[in-house]
Structure 1
Amino acid sequence: METSFPRCFGSSLILISIIYISKHLNLNMQTVLKGWVENVREIGNIRFFVVRNSSGLTQVTAKKGDVPEEVFKIISEIGKEDCVDVRGRLVESKIAKTGKELIPDSIKILSKAEKPLPLDLQVGAEKDTRFNYRFIDLRDKKIQKIFILKNRVIELFREFFKNNGFIE
C-alpha cells in the first residue's frame, strides 16, 4: 500500500529531548526540532505551531519582524500533521506549556500530510480505518502507552525465563 505519509526523519534523528532531560539547558542555544505539526494558530502578527515527536510537544513561535520573512511565510503553508524540520533558538516562555519555546531561524517542510487526514487522532475512527493507517494511529499517546506496556511485559517474561535457565 503506497502512502503519502513517508518516514520523514531520514537516517539522522536529532530530537529536542534534551529539553525535557536537562534542567541546565542553555537558553538561546541553537536547537534542531523535527516532528509532526500538532496544530497551527495565528494571532495578529504572531504565528504559532506545536510540533510533536517522541519527546513530547514543543511550541514554535514566530513574531513578524523578529524572524526572517521567508520563515514567517512558510508557517502559513504548514498544515496539521505535516512533517517539519525547525532550527532556531530556545527561549523561556510563560505561555508555552513546557515553559520553553523555539524561535525559528529556518523551517523546512519535509512532508505534507494528505488532506483530509484519513483519521483524526483526537476523535478516533473505525477499527478498519485505524488498521489501514496504523502509522498515524500510533502517534496517539494512548495507543503508544499500550505498546510500551506490552513491550515491558514481554521484557519481564523474557528476563524471568532467562534467569530460570530457559532458552529462547
Structure 2
Amino acid sequence: MSLCGKMEAEIEMKAPADKVFEFYTCLAYQMSKSSPEMLQSVDLQEGQWGKKGSILCWNYLIDGKVEKIKMITEEIDYRNKSATYKTIEGDLLEFYKSFRFILQVTPREEGSLVHWSFEYEKLNANIPNPETTLPAVVHACKDIDAHLTQAKTQRSPQLQ
C-alpha cells in the first residue's frame, strides 16, 4: 500500500479568474471575513503576500476543532494563475510526512474554475486520507466566491 496520495476538487466560481487568484495569493488575509466559519485567520509570517518564499500561517476549523498550519509559497505563476504551497509546520504534519496544496484558477466564459490538488505522504499505512480537509476547502471556496461576487475587495498592489 502506497503512503503517497493525491486528492483533487474542482469548484465552479462566478467571480472572474483574476479576482479569485488575487484573493487567494495576495489578499488571503481577508479570507476570515469571507468564510468565518471555516477560516479564522491567515497571517503573513515572512516575505510578501503573493510572492514565492513567503510564509503564511492559517488558523481554520475542521470538524469543529481549531487547527493551524504554516506553509511556504513554493511556486506562484501569475500568468497561468497557479500556486503551490508546502506545509512546513502544523497539525497536518502530525499525520503526514509532507503535504502540498496546489491551486490552479482557470478563466471561463463566465466566472472561473478553481482546481485544488492535495499531494501528501502519510507517516504510516494506518493514517487515513485527508477526507475532511478537501470538503472544508470546497466549502471555503464557495464562501469566497459569494464574497467576491457581492463585495468589493481591496486590490493588491501587485495586480494594479
TM range (shorter): under 0.3
Say which one has the larger Rg.
Answer: 1
The higher-RCO structure (CA 8 Å, 6+ apart) is 2
**TM-score normalised to the size of structure 2?**
0.25
Which structure: greater strand fraction? 2
